[in-house]
Amino acid sequence: MSSLLVKDLIDAGVHYGHRASRWNPKMRPYIYGKHNQIHIINVRETLRGLFRARKYLQQVVAANSLVLFVGTKRQASEIIERQATACGMPFVSERWLGGTLTNFRTVTKRLDRLTELETLRASEEFTQYSKKMQSSLNREYRKMYRNLNGLRTLNRIPEVLVIVDPKKEKNAVAEARKMNVTTIALIDTNCDPDLIDLPIPGNDDSIRSIDLIIGYLSESIQAANNAASDKTEE
């Protein structure tokens, strides 16, 4: 993955933007041209954004920083969970809970409740509850697990957010900006790059495109972790 080339990006369809009528003019520096009313992204700008993001991630991960992956749209959800798990980082793949960054204490309490429910459901005591109560607790558990499972390793406010489609994840971006959390994002031609610290212009609707970009960032984190482990062993 370290030898990522323009051809790899084009093969994955990273260069396809949105319809020209839906563009954000601030994306002009990242656009190569237009074909059949579709904006074509300059993949050299994509590479530049990727390499900047990789360098930054490797620096902060070496300093033991936490990176939170965020992507709740249908095309991104499974990829975010898989790639974040691969590099040992927390993730949000279902729904961004308001206050995840700005009211972190509440998130911590919810995680404690999730653990409490898991312990209860595995206990003898649970079988003694009425069917109605069991059903209610199971429902609560399923909802909390779906929304919070990826945040179990989030023991503090993260230093970095890696985001797919900041327009879709506008609440996460707003909280990150308020809390001075660095943002790295895969941004399509309808997004505002000024809201992101390290934008990576590219197709945020294609599964292949998302997987390639997020996979590259995940591997960058894994490489930094491995380098830190090797240094510790020395």
- 164-200 confidence digits (pLDDT tens): 999 999 999 999 999 999 999 999 999 999 999 999 9
Buried b (16+ CB within 10 A) or exposed e, 199-216: bbbbbbbbeebbbbbbbb
Evaluate if residue 228 carries a pLDDT over 80.
no
The pLDDT value given to residue 95: 94
Evaluate if residue 158 carries a pLDDT over 70.
yes
Q: How far apart are the first and last CA of the chain?
A: 26
Q: What is the DSSP letter of 21?
A: G
74-90 residue pLDDT tens: 999 999 999 999 999 99
Q: What CATH number belongs to 6-101+157-233?
A: 3.40.50.10490
| Helix H or strand E segment including 32 | strand 31-35
The pLDDT value given to residue 6: 84
How many whole angstroms separate alpha carbon 171 and alpha carbon 106?
Answer: 17
The pLDDT value given to residue 147: 93
| Helix H or strand E segment including 194 | none
3-46 residue pLDDT tens: 568 889 999 999 989 888 899 999 999 999 999 989 999 999 99
The pLDDT value given to residue 226: 87
The pTM assigned to this predicted structure is 0.92
Amino acid at 147: N
Residues 154-165 have a mean pLDDT of: 97
pLDDT band at 141 (very low <50, low <70, confident <90, very high): very high
Evaluate if residue 209 carries a pLDDT over 80.
yes
DSSP string, 70-137: E--SHHHHHHHHHHHHHTT--EE-S-PPTTTTTTHHHHHHHHHHHHHHHHHHTSHHHHTS-HHHHHHH
Nearest to 67 by CA among 90, 83, 49: 90
Query: By the 8 A CB rule, do 196 and 166 touch?
Result: yes
Evaluate if residue 2 carries a pLDDT over 60.
no
Mean pLDDT (the chain, rounded): 93
